[in-house]
Structure 1
Amino acid sequence: MNRKIFFSGFFWKFNEQISMQLVQFFVQIILARLLSPKDYGIVALVNVFIFLADVFVVSGFNTSLIQKKDSNEEDFSTIFYCSLFFSIFVYAVVYVLAPLISKFYNNDSIVLILRVFALKLPISSFNAIQQAYVAKKMAFKKIFVSTTLATLLSGMIGIFLAIMNKGVWALVAQYLSNTFFSTIVLFIQIPWRPKLIFSKKSAKSLLSYGWKVMMASFLGRLFSQLRTLLIGKYYSSASLAYYNRGMQFPDLISNNVDTTISTVLFPYMSQKSNSLDELKSITRRAMKTSTYLIMPLMFGLAVVSKPLILLLLTAKWLPSVPYMQCLCIANAFSTITNTNLQAIQASGRSDLLLRLELVKKPVFLLLLVIAIKIDVLAIAITMIIYSIYAAVVNMKPNTKIINYTYKEQIMDILPPLLMSMIMGSVVWFISLLSMPLLLSLILQILIGVMTYLGESYLFKYEPYQYLIGYLKDVINK
Structure 2
Amino acid sequence: MVVLRLCVRLLSIVSLFIMARLLVPEDYGIVALAMSFYAILDVVTTFNFDLPLIQNQQATKDDYNTAWSLNILMGLFIAIGLLIGCYPIASLFNEPQLVPIFLCLAGMAIIQGFTNIGVVNFRKELNLKKEFNFEFGKKILSFLVTVGAGLLLKSYWALVFGMITNCLAGLILSFIMSSYRPSLSLKSWRSLLSFSKWMLFTNVLLYANNRLMMLIVGSSLNTKILGNYSMMKEVADITTVELVLPIQKALFPGYSKLTDDKPQLAQVFLNSIAMIAFFGVPIATTLAALNEHFVITLLGEKWLSESWMLKIFCLAGAFSLVTGATLSIYYALAKPQIVTAILFIQGAIRISLFSYFIIQGYITEALLSILVTAILSTALSLVISCRLLSLPVFQLLWPLTRTTLSAVLLMASLLLLTKWFPLQYNFFIDFLSMSVMTLIGIVVYTVCHFSLWYFTYNSQNTAYCSKATGAESIIIQLVKPKLSALRLRLST
- The equivalent of 2:131 in structure 1 is 143
Where 1:106 maps in the other structure, the secondary structure is: coil
- The alpha carbon displacement at 1:294 in A equals 1.1
CA contact 1:245–1:320 (8 Å) conserved in 2:
no
CA contact 1:287–1:336 (8 Å) conserved in 2:
yes
- The equivalent of 1:441 in structure 2 is 434
- The alpha carbon displacement at 1:434 in A equals 4.1
Q: Where in structure 2 are the equivalents of 1:309-458 lying within 5 Å?
A: 309-372=295-358, 373-434=360-421, 436-458=429-451
Distance 1:101 1:429 in 2: 48
Q: Unmatched 5+ residue regions in structure 2?
A: 423-428, 455-469, 487-492
Where 2:179 maps in the other structure, the secondary structure is: coil
- The alpha carbon displacement at 1:239 in A equals 0.5
- The equivalent of 1:14 in structure 2 is 2
Where 2:314 maps in the other structure, the secondary structure is: helix
Where 1:119 maps in the other structure, the secondary structure is: helix
Where 2:86 maps in the other structure, the secondary structure is: helix
Which of residues 33, 52, 69 is equivalent to 1:45?
33
* Letter in structure 1 aligned against 2:444: T
- The equivalent of 1:9 in structure 2 is none
TM-score (norm 1): 0.91
Cα distance, 1:313–1:403 mapped onto 2, change above 3 Å: same
Cα distance, 1:468–1:195 mapped onto 2, change above 3 Å: farther
- The alpha carbon displacement at 1:355 in A equals 2.7
Q: Where in structure 2 are the equivalents of 1:247-262 lying within 5 Å?
A: 247-262=233-248
Distance 2:186 2:228 in 1: 48
CA contact 1:242–1:319 (8 Å) conserved in 2:
no
- The equivalent of 1:217 in structure 2 is 203
Distance 2:239 2:114 in 1: 27
Distance 1:283 1:93 in 2: 41
- The alpha carbon displacement at 1:474 in A equals 7.5
CA contact 2:353–2:369 (8 Å) conserved in 1:
yes
Distance 2:435 2:179 in 1: 46
Distance 1:50 1:473 in 2: 51
Where 1:364 maps in the other structure, the secondary structure is: helix
Q: Does 1:467 align with 2:475?
A: yes
Distance 2:312 2:261 in 1: 39
CA contact 2:78–2:106 (8 Å) conserved in 1:
no
Which of residues 216, 222, 225 is equivalent to 1:239?
225
Q: Where in structure 2 are the equivalents of 1:113-192 lying within 5 Å?
A: 113-127=101-115, 129-165=117-153, 167-192=155-180
- The equivalent of 2:490 in structure 1 is none
Q: Does 1:89 align with 2:77?
A: yes
Distance 1:235 1:174 in 2: 27
* Letter in structure 2 aligned against 1:470: L
Where 2:240 maps in the other structure, the secondary structure is: helix
Which one has the largest radius of gyration? Answer: 2
Cα distance, 1:231–1:318 mapped onto 2, change above 3 Å: same
Structure 1 range deviating more: 96-105 or 463-472: 463-472
CA contact 1:212–1:350 (8 Å) conserved in 2:
yes
Where 2:183 maps in the other structure, the secondary structure is: coil
Cα distance, 1:76–1:169 mapped onto 2, change above 3 Å: same
Distance 2:192 2:107 in 1: 26
Cα distance, 1:322–1:168 mapped onto 2, change above 3 Å: same
Cα distance, 1:109–1:296 mapped onto 2, change above 3 Å: same
| Deviation >6 Å, runs of 4+ | 474-477
* Letter in structure 2 aligned against 1:185: L
- The equivalent of 1:288 in structure 2 is 274
- The alpha carbon displacement at 1:57 in A equals 5.1
Where 2:215 maps in the other structure, the secondary structure is: helix
- The alpha carbon displacement at 1:421 in A equals 1.1
Distance 1:315 1:370 in 2: 31
CA contact 2:28–2:231 (8 Å) conserved in 1:
no
Distance 2:108 2:393 in 1: 42
- The alpha carbon displacement at 1:279 in A equals 2.4
Identity percentage over the alignment? 21
| Root-mean-square deviation (Å) | 2.2
CA contact 1:62–1:128 (8 Å) conserved in 2:
no
Distance 2:481 2:82 in 1: 52
Q: Unmatched 5+ residue regions in structure 1?
A: 1-12
CA contact 1:57–1:84 (8 Å) conserved in 2:
no
Structure 1 range deviating more: 435-444 or 30-39: 435-444
* Letter in structure 1 aligned against 2:434: L
